[in-house]
Amino acid sequence: MVQNSTFIQNQEDLARQLLGTLPDRWGRMDVMSRAALVGVGQALFDGGMLADDAPVLQSGWTGGLIVGSRRGSLASDLDYAETLKLGPGMASPHLFGYTLPNIPLAEAAIQYQLTGPVFVLIGEKPFESAVHEARQWLSELPGEKKFIVAGALDVIPGQAEPAITAQFKIIQT
């Protein structure tokens, strides 16, 4: 599912609906992290796994997050490199923190208290690879109520606005 600027503009509204308030780090998060936070939260909400009183997992659930990506953190890497043009002293520390493809997933995992495996697979078939890997990891999680959010997430850099690909699915036993 490719999303455009409407998705980017609605991320803040969706985040507020899911979380009640925006996380303190929202303003410095890159586009990919915001998409991960909202997309994973929406999948958990749709799956009935979020607690009624807080935007975290319901008690008793154990979950992880495995996402495939074609480009990883390329968009943030390019944005960071742009800040270097004026010299190393002008490099953005806010962007540097998002130049690893696992960081957007870490933002979501922390928010929703996912304690299982959390990682990105880079490849040509991101969603299929993530679902396959999630099914393999699922049996390794402790407890009876376990799941992995599998998905695909990419931010394709563009001159006017980035295109976002975000698709998430809950894999359960």
Instruction: Write out pLDDT tens, residues 56-85.
Output: 899 999 999 999 998 888 777 778 788 888
pTM: 0.85
What does the alpha-carbon distance between residue 171 and residue 152 come to, in Å, rounded to a whole number? 14
Are 105 and 120 in contact, with CB atoms under 8 Å apart?
A: yes
Instruction: Write out pLDDT tens, residues 7-35.
Output: 556 788 888 888 888 888 888 888 888 99
Q: Which CATH number belongs to the domain containing residue 113 in this structure?
A: 3.40.47.10
Tokens 């999948």 -> residue: 43
Q: Which domain holds residue 75?
A: 2-172
Number of folded domains that form the chain:
1
DSSP single-letter state for residue 165:
E
What does the alpha-carbon distance between residue 84 and residue 88 come to, in Å, rounded to a whole number? 5
